[in-house]
Structure 1
């Protein structure tokens, strides 16, 4: 192979390596951070609940109307059902198990596959109104600040997400975010079984079981002035703490506290009466380990695509070019037999 041809091959290989490194870093790596179109993940939680016993309430047994300390398990499945360019339609299905009773809840979101924020849905798709807010997932390399917002399906409200620092989960660095919600319940599935009003006699009988503020306001005169039946509104109060893997955005751990409180208006003052339901639960240790393993695998892939592979390809290309330059600048001396003798003419 001639020197010229060898140089051409080296330059071509170096250019191809640089091109491949560019594609890996700026095309494949960003695509790897998008919400995958085959996402299908189930996370398990465990905790306890407090529930209003409607039968006890119906029969006037107000002392036993609230049952607390009920063990629960929770299954949450996140599944991308379709993708439309950079938009993913995600089904978020949660089922709470209380003994033999199951409480299912299914929500559908249109998410930007890169930012994970709610976006406009594809035509003919009905989704939750979460535009601009996170609902089911954080993006990779999530910002360590208070710039994110959260969509709460119970109240259909969008609230700030507060960044509260860093921690470790399964040996990985995580960002900790806290979400606090307090707003009227607007989820039709939650409101449907709840009574819009209660008989005044039942509210009167409930008074000894209520909190101090409600008891102080529900004086005999105030009770007498209430309409019959007494209109009831419902307030949703939630606190979520999420431990988000810094590199991949995977929620390795999470705690959830969610309460629905019945309230009414007493003397023009909104007054909380009693909780209708309260659920407190966290990710099970087994699911935390599984999510940690998933973050390890996803993190390794991102490291390979973002850093290792492009750097190796660029390093090889640089070595080839350095070798070529060294070879071109090398000028060997002419052989001694071809050098003219001292004082001898080079012409005949």
Structure 2
């Protein structure tokens, strides 16, 4: 077989190997949570926020700001990764008027399933179960497959599939998760009073719903000097996840934290001390969709078009090489016979 044929076949085989590596080695790695993930999302809406300083000073009239504009900045980033594990930070800053509060969480996340895994490199993380910051690649449009970790009540709750919807020109799956229970987030707990002086009770009654006033009014005289409070929280999360990548393109959060009075074995709801209803800004939605477009195009080339192109070129080179190798060699060209003139010395 000719040397040219071997060269063509060799390059063809090399392209086939590269196609296999791209599809079965590089592609699976490309579907993992990127180690350089770093996004900031802005939410805006309305909320009610407790002014703890005003409440404790007796300024009941200004203790609760109701239906004021609020914003939430959410910074999600990966600080470390090793193999299939990533250390993911989910830092939130809530701004209401001149007040702001932070609520930060750190998780060890499996970069493929996006659920909990063991931490790496001695990093301290929050124990959790289920999803936290994103869905996995190629999420399933169905209910009761996924669970979502509610950091406020520290429980995993089921995720419900609502339907398929468009966001910024991309197909998304709309999911919803609702969590309700005792407040268990230590950062939020530290921002709220553990008890209130009994002397504030008469003035607080005016802020309460009529039914609560009727329940508490006869009990005010029997309250202890410091009235213990317990907090419950209810949160509803709506997420529009990219149908291909699983990345959240739009999110809505509705949360309410309620203070409850503990009287013996009876817990009476007092008033909401934190209520937010925020939706992701359109600029953040457009930015997320743009990143998804770029990532989806890159993934398509890695998973599909790149391997196909390499496969076709590799097979073509092998076929050409075999054809060149099977072609019979051309016969050698005979050297021309020298002409001898009759008058030359050789003719005598």
Interval of TM-score (by shorter of Structure 1 and Structure 2): 0.7 to 0.9
* Greater mean alpha carbon deviation, residues 173-182 or residues 30-39: 30-39
> 1:79 Cα deviation (Å)?
1.7
Secondary structure in structure 2 of the residue aligned to 1:287 = helix
TM-score by length of 1: 0.85
Q: How has the CA–CA distance of structure 1 residues 209 and 327 changed in structure 2, closer, same or farther, with 3 Å as cutoff?
A: same
Contact 1:129 1:156 in 2 (8 A): no
Alignment of 1:188-227 (within 5 A): 188-218=186-216, 220=218, 222-224=219-221, 226-227=223-224
**Could you give the per-residue CA deviations for residues 131-158 of structure 1, whole angstroms, max 9, x where no partner exists?**
x411112221112223111112222222
Give structure 1 regions of 4+ aligned residues with deviation exceeding 6 angstroms.
Answer: 325-331
CA distance in 2, matches of 1:101, 1:224: 34
> Who is 1:168 aligned against?
166
> Who is 2:11 aligned against?
13
1:263 has 2:260 as partner: yes
**Could you give the per-residue CA deviations for residues 276-324 of structure 1, whole angstroms, max 9, x where no partner exists?**
1112211111111111110000000001111111112222233345556
Secondary structure in structure 1 of the residue aligned to 2:17 = helix
Contact 1:91 1:109 in 2 (8 A): yes
Contact 1:217 1:266 in 2 (8 A): no
1:297 has 2:303 as partner: no
1:140 has 2:146 as partner: no
Q: How many residues align?
A: 329
Larger radius of gyration: 2
**Could you give the per-residue CA deviations for residues 192-211 of structure 1, whole angstroms, max 9, x where no partner exists?**
23222223343344334323
Alignment of 1:75-154 (within 5 A): 75-130=73-128, 132-145=129-142, 146-154=144-152
**Could you give the per-residue CA deviations for residues 4-40 of structure 1, whole angstroms, max 9, x where no partner exists?**
4444334323322221111111111111111122222
TM-score by length of 2: 0.85
Q: Which has the higher contact order (CA 8 A, sep 6+)?
A: 2
Q: Which runs of 5+ in 1 are unaligned?
A: 332-348
> 1:326 Cα deviation (Å)?
6.7
Alignment of 1:279-290 (within 5 A): 279-290=276-287
> Who is 1:35 aligned against?
33
> Who is 1:345 aligned against?
none
